[in-house]
Every structure is written in C-alpha cells, then in structure tokens.
Structure 1
Amino acid sequence: MSEALQILQKYWKHDSFRPLQQEIIDSVLSGQDTFALMPTGGGKSICFQIPTMAKKGICLVISPLVALMKDQVANLQKKDIKAIALTGGIKSDEMINLLDNCQFGNYKFLYLSPERLQSDWILDRIKSLPINLIAIDEAHCVSQWGHDFRPAYLKISSLKTHFPTVPFLALTATATPKAKDDIITELGLQNPQLFQKSFARKNIAYMVFETDDKLFKIEQILKKNQQSSIIYVRNRKSCLDIAAQLRSLGFTATFYHGGLSSKEKDKNMQLWMQDEAQVIVATNAFGMGIDKSNVKTVIHIQLPDNLENYYQEAGRSGRNGEKAFAVLLTNPSDIAQTENQFLSILPDKAFLNAVYKKLCTYFQIAYGEGINEQYSFNLNLFCLKYQFPVLKTYNAMQFLDRQGIISLSQEFSEKISLQFTIPSKEVIRYTSLNPNDEEIILTILRTYPGIYEMQTAFNLPLIAKKSHHTEAQVHAVLQKLKEKDIIDYHAKNNDSTLIFNEIREDERTISRVAKYLENQNTLKKEQFKSVIKYIKEDKTCKSNLILNYFGEKTTTNCGICSYCITIKSKKTNFAALKNEIIALLTIEELNSREIQNRINTKSDDVIFVIQELLESENIILKSNNKYTIKS
C-alpha cells in the first residue's frame, strides 16, 4: 500500500482516492509543477494536503477565500494536524507569534491570501520556513480572463526565485482554455504536469424552463423531488421572500445570506444539513466548502452572471452519484431586465474615480496621505451622502479591494432588523391614535411589505429620507413601538472595516488599474452573453453547451437535459387533449393551474389548447378567472 493511501485512510478515513487525486499527488511528490483543473466536489484540497503530510516541512496555501481557509484549518485541526491561517484582522504581534509557530512548532499548513505576500516582512519570514509545497487555490484569479482576477496573484510567481526546487500546485474548479494558458504563464509553472477532470456530470440533468409563474414551477419541482434542495437567488430580500412563500405552501425552508450573523448562518445551515429543512434559499454567499451528498435539486430563479458560477452552484447537486437536477427558471422579460440591471451596475473608470475620491473626502484623507489608515465604514450611509447607487458602488469597492488599493470586510449587515408582532389592523389603529408617528410607520410598511411575516433587515437612513424625518426621529418611533410590544426589534453593528493600503493619489491611483477594469468589464459582458446563449439555444444539449464553454468538444447528447427530453418525448395529441379539457370543464369550472394539475401533460401544451378553445369560443373565461363551457 502506498504511503499516500495510508495517510488518506488514517486521517480522512477513505479507502480509495477519487479520480485524478492519486495522479496529482504522485506528480507533486515527484517534485513537478502541477496544474489541476477539477470541477466542484472533485476533492482538490486532498491533492496538496496528502503530499504535505508525506514529506517533511510545511505547505504554503495561497487562497483568496477567508471562509474556505478557516474551514480547511478547522477540519485539519480536528484531525490533529497543525494548521494556521493568516486572515484579516490579525494584529502584527499575533502574526509574528503565528509565524514563529510555523517555524518552530512542527506546523504542516500555512494559509494566507495573496495580498499578504505584498508585505515584505511577511515574505521575509516565509523565506525562512521549511516550505515543501506551494499550493495556489482558486488559481483562475491569476488570469485576466478568469472570472475573479486579482492582481496580487501576479506576484506569486516571485516565490519561484526564493523556492526554486519547491513544486507549485495550481488548483481551480473553473477555467476556460484561455484562462488555463494564462494561469500557467503568469505563475511561471515549469514544464507542468496537466491534469484535467472532465466537466461532465453525467448524473445531473440540466434543465431550462420558461415560465410566467416561477413559484408555481418551484412548487411542482419540490413536490416531485422531495429530497434536499438549494434555491439560489440574487439578493437577501429574495432569500427571505421565497423562503416565506415556500413555508406558506407547506415546505420546510430556511435561508442563508451574507448579512446573517455567524450564529444565524450556522443554525440555518444545520437545519438544512440535517434534513430538518428540505430547502435552503440562498445567495451566492452560500456553498463554498459545503459538501452535502444528497442534494437532489439546485434551482436558480434568476439568471447567473456567468457559466463558471452557475456550473459550480449547480454542481452542488448529485454528489452521491444519483440522478439530480440543475434547474434554471426564466421568463421572457428576464433577459432584457437582467441585462439592463447587469450593465447598470458595472462601474467604469469615471465612476471608480468618483467613488475613490469621495471615499478619501469622506474620511478626510489628504492627497499623498492615508496609507494603512483604518476606519469603520457604512456602505448605505456613504451611498446616501453622495447619491451613489448601492450595487454599483459595492462593485467599485470590490474592484478596489481586489486591486489591493483598499481592504474591505465583506459583512454589510443591516444595523436594524424588525418585525411587527400585532395584526395590521391594530397597527393602523395605533397610527390613528398617534398621528405624529403615522408617516414613519406607513413609510416602513410601504417599503417592507413582508415585515409582518418575518424579521426584516431595515435601512434606517432610507426610511428617514423617504418619510422626511431625521434618523433620530425614526429611531425614537422604533423605540416606542418596541416598548409597547408592537415590534420585535434588534439593533446590530452595521460598520465594516475599511483600510487604505496606499497613499491617496486620485487619478494616478485609478489610471494604474483602469486597464484591468476595462478588461474585467469586457469579460463580464462576454460571460453574460454565454449565459443568454445557454438559455436561448434550443437545438443543442444543455450539458454539451456547458462542456463546450469549458473547452470540451463533444457531440454525444446527455439524454437527460431539458433539450434531450424534448426531442425524446412523444408528440402531443392535441385533439385528445382538447377533448380531455372540455370533459373536465363540463363537470366544473377550473382555472388554468387546476387544469394543469389534473392533466399529465406539459404545461405549455395545456396553455396552447386552452388558448385555441377560447379563440374557437368552445370555452369562456369568467370574472372569477375560471374557465367553463360556453353555453
């Protein structure tokens, strides 16, 4: 038995490796630079963890994902394997102690972000460590053609000069052929061994359904497949709304988004992981490091920005090898609407410049100053003060963060969450008795229609502005309502941490990174076009569309996607369907949904026949929205 397999069995309790893991480990152990392209769920971390355990020394793991670093360190520590992550918020004294532990304490793994390598003193300390392997996770970030380019990754190649005999292992789950070539060049990989697992997930049926009633379609899917499911949405409000609607339909549903506290995240996650909730409704903040084998269905109800993210999120289904479904729901207005929204929140150079200057003004940073200054930051207040659109500003600040100009913590949790705990008629009665509070309360109810059903994130500056009151006045009304047990009210810290990593140089700062912004915007537009092609292309297997996007050429259809099912299904007998609908309506009046529920036929065909029967005046639509036979 090989040493690598013994380590796998001892620490990970697995009897055998997954495809390509053994080959990648052997390549690394032989001292070769190695590139591994393994889709989500392929077990990438094993590929650097096991060779590190087999050799003396420590593995340097470079990753941009703080949550994933913490998760992997925690999992290694549970196995009594010494591991450390140098994440944000660690003070210099503590960092010195951690690096001392790496040097003298028999540690096996040191995780850090690529930005940490830009600190000369940290780089000097790393040079003195007994590094046996350098693993670059999320390696697509090094490529300007990757979907999350970070210039700090470009400096990783300099480690080659300090560790000329140490192998590099580049790992990614999603890279197009163009991005793959870029990664190898930019990391300076020398004659790398290339390992690429096919992107094909033969047990996943990729489905695209056009529907005017997405909630009804979700209800049908979840009733048919009652196992564990994920529903991905674009924003936090949709998370809460969809989860509440599903609960009202009798499903066990919870939700997950970046604004929840750690305690709430863990609680909701465990409900889903332990199958106490069938469905978790989530933003893309959910999923990294999640490995639940029995997910039957992943549903996207809004268009993803790119196929890279869609493939990763859809790939969280069917990890047990059983048939699973990746469903994308769309309607005719989605593409134009999403495209407009998508383009409207892409910051250009002028907007980036404006945001950067206003940030410096906001914190009173003079030209030529500001380096290493740290501040508490509230995104909503900042955008309100300068009349900036929130999402576009957030994207601009994310870009500045990726360029290393600023460092920004990602938690934009709302300062206040609240829920009305008495019936709406009682709230109206209260406003009639307290006319001074009426305008503020009505503004809250108009802005947050779901506030009776659930705890709702609350934007204090927005309500103050819309109700023409000061924030202090709004706050006073909330306190009064809380004291009278009219609302359940929670105040939370809304401040993120913002660090300026460079001196203020205005246009010079922005001009230096503008070319990256232009490239990224061009790439994002191209990626979104690929999403539209995936949806609209109705003469190609959906699985093949995804494989071709990632550079795999195949002409063999999967046989289980929405396209393949359409070409295999028998032609609908419209005459028989017409007679069946007429027979139903002869007995009782029904609406279109009730007809669909009683007939085992595609909903599109049912709607088509109903339309024909209306046009031929065989049936009529009554004022109660139900169909009946024309007398």
Structure 2
Amino acid sequence: MPEALAILQKYWKHDSFRPLQKEIIESVQKGEDTLAILPTGGGKSICFQVPALLKEGICLVISPLVALMKDQVANLQKRDIKAIALTGGIRTDELIDLLDNCQYGNYKFLYLSPERLQQDWVLDRIKNLPINLIAIDEAHCVSQWGHDFRPAYLKISTLKKHFPKTPFIALTATATPAVQHDIQELLGLQKPNCFLQSFARKNLAYMVFNVDDKMHLAQKILQKNPEPSILYVRNRKSCLTLSEQLQSVGFTATFYHGGLSAREKEKHMNLWLNEDVQVMVATNAFGMGIDKPNVKTVIHTQLPENIENYYQEAGRAGRNGDKAFSIILTNTSDALQAKSQFIDSLPDKAFLNTLFIKLCNSFQIAYGEGINEQFSFNLNRFCNKYNFPTLKTYNALQFLDKQGIITLSQEYSEKITLQFLIESKEVIRYISLNPNDEEIILTILRTYPGIYEIKTAINTALIAKKANASENEVIAVLHKLKERDIVNFKAKDNDANILFNEVREDEHTISRVIKYLEKQNLQKREHLQSVLHYIEKQDFCKSRLLLAYFGETNSEDCQICSYCITKKEQPVSNSEIQSVIVNLLKNQDLDSRTISSQIKFKDAEIVKALQELLEDDKIKILPNNKYTLKK
C-alpha cells in the first residue's frame, strides 16, 4: 500500500487512511468487485479516487446527485486532478465534445448520472474509453426498499457486459441488510468483498425530548453548547424566521435553503464554516459535502422523513471525535404533521394518470407524440390552473422523473425574487396614496416577513389567492413598484424545464410503472413508522434503536443518550421541586420559562410541580403570567 499512501499524501495531504479505507482500496487494486458501506464522513470518495489514480485510464463515477457531482469534480480540480461531470442541461453537441475530451484529454474521472447510461450513443462513446474502475455512488438507490429508489440504477449492471474485467465499487452511507443484498444482486457484483463499518458513533449522544416550547429548549441547548451547531427545520420560511428569532435573543445565526442563489448559499455557508456565526438554520438541502469536524450540536425541530436521512444529518456532529449531540425536539402534533407532509402528499395511480394527461395537454402533445420535446414549466401556475395540490404534484413529477418518463430540471426553485428597497414607513405612505395596491402589498409583507432584508423567492399564484386578485394583477403591481424604485423585482416565466423521454400513451404509460409507485408509497409509510417508533419508544437506548434498524443487533446501551441518562438519574420527588420553586418565588415573581431556566429539573416535572402548587393554593398566576406566592 505504499503507492496508495503516497497518492493520499500528495493530493489530500493526509498521512494515514481512515478505518477500512486501506482494506477497501486493496480490494479495488486487486481488481475485485467491492461493496463499501461507510457512515457519513467516513471518506467514501477516497476509496475509489485513490485506486483510480494508481491506474492508467479513467474512473467512471455514477452518481444521482448533480450537486454532489459538481462538488467532487471541483474538489478534484482544486488538487490538479482532471475530472469532468456530464450533468443535465448540456446540449448534445457539447456532450460529444466533452466525451471526446475524455478520450484524448488525459482525464482521470468522468462523472455522470445513471440516466445518461440509458442514452445509447452516450453508452457507445463510453465503451470506447479506457475505463479502469466503475464507482457507483449512493448505491442504495438501486433498491426498491431503499429510501431513494431510482429505477435507472437497475440498468447499471449492463456495464458488466461491456467491461467484464473492470472492477465495480458500490458505495453508500446507509443501507439496511435487505438493501445491502439488493445492491450486490441488482448491480451484478461478482463475489464482492463487503466492507461494513459499524454505524455506532460512540461520541454522539442521541437525544429525544418531548416539549411544548421547542425553541425555548433549543436556545437553552445552544447556550450550554456554544460551539458550531445546525438547526434543521422543515421549510424555507422557518429558516429565516428562526434565524431572526435566535439573533433577537443574542445568538449569531444564519440560514440555508434551496431557494437561495448560489452566491447567497456560499456567503451564508462561509459565515458558518468560518465560525462568524454559531448556528446554521437549514432545511435538509444543507449538509451534502459538508465536513466540519467540530460541529457540537445538530437539532431537528421536526420529524425527519426516514431514519436514513436522520442518521446522515445527525452524523454531521462530532466528526472530530469529541462528545457531540444529535437532538430531536418533538411534541404531540408532530406525528400528524409528518403524516400530512410525507404520506398524505403521496400520489396514487388515479392522481398520477390525471396529472400526466393534464401535463401533456398543457403542452399540446398529441397521443403517440412528444418524445424528446422540451418545455419550460412553472409548477405553481400548473397547479393553480388544474387545482392540483402543490406538494402532491411535485412528488408525482419527481416520480415520473425517476422512472425516466420525463426529465425534470434539477434547479427546482422559485424564479421570481423580490426585495423592498425603502423603509416600512415609506411603504405605508405609498399604500396610503395608492389604496388599490394595498391588499396585494400587505399580503406580500405578511407572507414573507424577511423581504426587507434579503431578496426573497415569492409565489405569485399564492399571493394572488390570498389577496383575492388575479396573478396578472399581482405582477402588474410588482412592475409598478419596480418602476418607482420601491422594490428590486426579477422574474422569469418558469421554474423548471421538462423533457419528455417517451411518446404520450396516457394510462398505458402509467400502468407500466405503477408497481414501482405502490412499492414506493408502502416504503415511505414504513419509513415514517420507523421514525415514529424511534421517537416514541421510551424504554430503550436510542443508539441501539438506530443500530438495530441497520442490522446491528448485538450492541450495548450507549450510556449517553436521552434514555440512558434518564435511567442513571436519581429520581427527584415532586415535593423537592416544589420547595425549590417556592424558594425562588420568595425573592421575586417569575414566569414558567424563567423558572425553568434557573433550576435543573425537566420541564415536565416543573409543570407538574407548578400545577400542584396552584391546586394546593400555595401560589397564584398574575395577569402578566408570572407566578407569585399566596400570602
């Protein structure tokens, strides 16, 4: 392995390999098929990049994520390693030139999506390249029982016919035993050497707290642990709102979501990476490719969609080996909200069939036609026109994309941005002089509270609906405001492109893929049930629950999770807590939040003690919601 270590030192400036990397690289160097399952942050890319650099020829890397491809290519190029990615949106003539460059330009890595392999002419070009290794990233996508099944992965095994002597390496961060079996079978791996690093993170304390006031507890946690932290939220609006809320009480915070421009993403990311701010408030769009070793705390304020995603997001804490915390804050309404978000929005056969017909009609595609035709597409306008629920429609379009029926552009965000350039009092003055515009302007301000501070992606169809106006009226008001330098307003007519990969055959098209839809929907229900089991099971170590999900059943209690800590705590009597509260109230009247911050008991215990003190007529509540002793 001295040559491999020399490559690692030359390009990555590391003196040693991480656990299992050396063994995986040796397997690949021997020309043997390999399955590598390394948790997030385990250094999967090194496992194929190092052996590929030791051989003549090009490493073909198949990845489902455009952002991940771009990130890895950029990192390789920074190290003066020639790499290229064939992402979506590249014209055919450009693709031909890029593939020619691969053949004659001394490139070492070629990244592409599995869908590219379904284009015969692309495959023909690749067959003529000197491929020395085929790496399949996010290999769990080949399994219908994985959390992100992608049918195009099923075609990867055909590469074995064209490259029978070229080793395959399949890589993933999370895979249950059933998914591991599928990876080996469906990718056609030949007697693979399997390397599975334990999913145990001994320094990571998994916590679940059932609380009424999530942000109050989050603030207490962040105050106690002032190191870099991530606060995951469900939607873009919450990113800005909670970031501002944290700033208002003295924390340094920024936010990150898919609707930000590339420049804004980089700016906010660097504020956090450089530790100019403590807290990154983010949707699950944040985290891919982030390897910040000293993240102390990861907090989820809503339930994750599945255990796999949660494990990866939680695993961004404590990569330096120091004790760290991954915390889920939950309450009684979370299960219903998660069901509404993840289950009720799943499309069924009838909805998918109706949507596909309307989609074709909206672009005037006749039956038996449409293949290779591309159109601009606006999701909100489409949903508004046909009265479709937005989230269910988006899920249906994603399903059609994964089945290869259509190709949906990857950049899926609002393309209308708005920011007010004048102070709020001047906006009010404008409204008083232009009362016909009042309802639309007030609707915008109510819907997007941060629109004075930053350029904000807006949904004109939603504004029109709330303001009881037409979308054209909303656009007209925005143009008027722009002409008077009241707002910065930029608009495009679409937020995606749709390419039709098949001819229109209506129900026949949908019938061919319905079995995949039914399995997907069943799996998503089971995934959510696993999350609820993890949250609700109060009498078992949280780390052991996660390990059991991934097939590790012989683990021991971690001693640091929320269950293990509770088990070790000495029980406190209710009378003792009441006594502490009474002593506090002898000095001054206090609200429940202040009481909670000044004593070390659990919120639920404090609430119970306060209720009994009230019932026993020892304290009372003042009009300002503070508790005081009865005299």
CA–CA separation in structure 2 for the residues paired with 1:444 and 1:82: 47
SS class of match (2:531)? helix
Post-superposition shift, 1:495?
A: 2.7
AA aligned opposite 2:318: G
State the partner residue of 1:90. Answer: 90
State the partner residue of 2:474. Answer: 474
CA–CA separation in structure 1 for the residues paired with 2:623 and 2:289: 52
Post-superposition shift, 1:163?
A: 1.0
CA–CA separation in structure 2 for the residues paired with 1:502 and 1:365: 11
Post-superposition shift, 1:148?
A: 0.8
Post-superposition shift, 1:619?
A: 0.6
Change (3 A) 1:425 1:8: closer
Question: Following superposition of structure 1 onto structure 2, how do residues 118-197 of structure 1 map, counting pairs within 5 Å?
Answer: 118-197=118-197
CA–CA separation in structure 1 for the residues paired with 2:199 and 2:112: 28
AA aligned opposite 2:599: I
Structure 1 position 101 matched with structure 2 position 101: yes
Q: Please tell me whether the aligned partners of residues 211 and 603 of structure 2 are also in contact (alpha carbons under 8 angstroms).
A: no
Q: Please tell me whether the aligned partners of residues 237 and 448 of structure 2 are also in contact (alpha carbons under 8 angstroms).
A: no
CA–CA separation in structure 2 for the residues paired with 1:504 and 1:488: 41
Post-superposition shift, 1:276?
A: 1.0
Post-superposition shift, 1:488?
A: 4.9
Structure 1 stretch 133-142 or stretch 483-492: which is displaced more?
A: 483-492
Post-superposition shift, 1:251?
A: 1.4
Structure 1 position 444 matched with structure 2 position 441: no
Question: Following superposition of structure 1 onto structure 2, how do residues 195-344 of structure 1 map, counting pairs within 5 Å?
Answer: 195-344=195-344
CA–CA separation in structure 1 for the residues paired with 2:235 and 2:446: 19
CA–CA separation in structure 2 for the residues paired with 1:628 and 1:485: 54
CA–CA separation in structure 2 for the residues paired with 1:611 and 1:446: 37
Post-superposition shift, 1:570?
A: 1.7
Structure 1 position 387 matched with structure 2 position 375: no
State the partner residue of 1:404. Answer: 404
What is the TM-score with the length of structure 2 in the denominator? Answer: 0.97
Change (3 A) 1:537 1:242: same
AA aligned opposite 2:39: P
SS class of match (1:277)? coil
CA–CA separation in structure 1 for the residues paired with 2:256 and 2:36: 31
State the partner residue of 1:377. Answer: 377
Q: Please tell me whether the aligned partners of residues 572 and 605 of structure 1 are also in contact (alpha carbons under 8 angstroms).
A: no
State the partner residue of 1:625. Answer: 625
CA–CA separation in structure 2 for the residues paired with 1:432 and 1:105: 65
Q: Please tell me whether the aligned partners of residues 345 and 392 of structure 1 are also in contact (alpha carbons under 8 angstroms).
A: yes
SS class of match (2:410)? coil
Post-superposition shift, 1:621?
A: 1.1
Structure 1 stretch 250-259 or stretch 15-24: which is displaced more?
A: 250-259
State the partner residue of 2:34. Answer: 34
Q: Please tell me whether the aligned partners of residues 414 and 493 of structure 1 are also in contact (alpha carbons under 8 angstroms).
A: no
CA–CA separation in structure 2 for the residues paired with 1:580 and 1:425: 48
Structure 1 stretch 357-366 or stretch 578-587: which is displaced more?
A: 578-587
Structure 1 stretch 137-146 or stretch 233-242: which is displaced more?
A: 233-242
Segments of structure 1 that go 5 or more residues without pairing to the other structure are none
Post-superposition shift, 1:211?
A: 0.9
Deviations 1:506-525 (A, max 9, x none): 11111111000100100110
State the partner residue of 2:579. Answer: 579
SS class of match (1:31)? coil
AA aligned opposite 1:413: S
Deviations 1:42-71 (A, max 9, x none): 100111111111111111111101111111
Q: Please tell me whether the aligned partners of residues 52 and 132 of structure 2 are also in contact (alpha carbons under 8 angstroms).
A: yes
Post-superposition shift, 1:590?
A: 0.7
Post-superposition shift, 1:489?
A: 4.0
Post-superposition shift, 1:243?
A: 1.1
CA–CA separation in structure 2 for the residues paired with 1:285 and 1:340: 20
CA–CA separation in structure 1 for the residues paired with 2:77 and 2:449: 46
State the partner residue of 2:7. Answer: 7
State the partner residue of 1:459. Answer: 459
CA–CA separation in structure 1 for the residues paired with 2:221 and 2:454: 25
Structure 1 stretch 239-248 or stretch 111-120: which is displaced more?
A: 239-248
CA–CA separation in structure 1 for the residues paired with 2:526 and 2:468: 43
SS class of match (2:135)? strand
CA–CA separation in structure 2 for the residues paired with 1:551 and 1:432: 65
CA–CA separation in structure 1 for the residues paired with 2:124 and 2:427: 64
AA aligned opposite 1:364: Q
Question: Following superposition of structure 1 onto structure 2, how do residues 477-516 of structure 1 map, counting pairs within 5 Å?
Answer: 477-484=477-484, 486-491=486-491, 494-516=494-516
Post-superposition shift, 1:532?
A: 0.2
CA–CA separation in structure 1 for the residues paired with 2:547 and 2:527: 15
CA–CA separation in structure 1 for the residues paired with 2:577 and 2:378: 59
State the partner residue of 1:418. Answer: 418
Post-superposition shift, 1:289?
A: 1.1
What is the TM-score with the length of structure 1 in the denominator? Answer: 0.97
SS class of match (1:295)? coil
Post-superposition shift, 1:491?
A: 3.9
Deviations 1:55-107 (A, max 9, x none): 11111111101111111111111111111111111111221121112112221
Post-superposition shift, 1:494?
A: 4.3
Post-superposition shift, 1:430?
A: 3.8
Q: CA RMSD in A?
A: 1.7
State the partner residue of 1:616. Answer: 616
Structure 1 stretch 528-537 or stretch 475-484: which is displaced more?
A: 475-484
AA aligned opposite 2:550: F
Deviations 1:180-206 (A, max 9, x none): 101111011111111000000111100
AA aligned opposite 1:301: T
Aligned length: 631
AA aligned opposite 2:458: F
SS class of match (2:611)? helix
Deviations 1:374-396 (A, max 9, x none): 11111111111111111111111
Post-superposition shift, 1:476?
A: 2.9
CA–CA separation in structure 1 for the residues paired with 2:153 and 2:344: 28
AA aligned opposite 1:13: K
AA aligned opposite 1:335: A
AA aligned opposite 1:73: V
State the partner residue of 1:79. Answer: 79
Post-superposition shift, 1:501?
A: 0.8
CA–CA separation in structure 2 for the residues paired with 1:594 and 1:439: 40
Q: Please tell me whether the aligned partners of residues 444 and 463 of structure 2 are also in contact (alpha carbons under 8 angstroms).
A: yes
Post-superposition shift, 1:416?
A: 2.9
Post-superposition shift, 1:423?
A: 5.9
Segments of structure 2 that go 5 or more residues without pairing to the other structure are none
SS class of match (1:110)? strand
Q: Please tell me whether the aligned partners of residues 413 and 493 of structure 1 are also in contact (alpha carbons under 8 angstroms).
A: no
Post-superposition shift, 1:410?
A: 2.8
AA aligned opposite 1:88: G
Deviations 1:458-489 (A, max 9, x none): 21122223333333332332233345555454
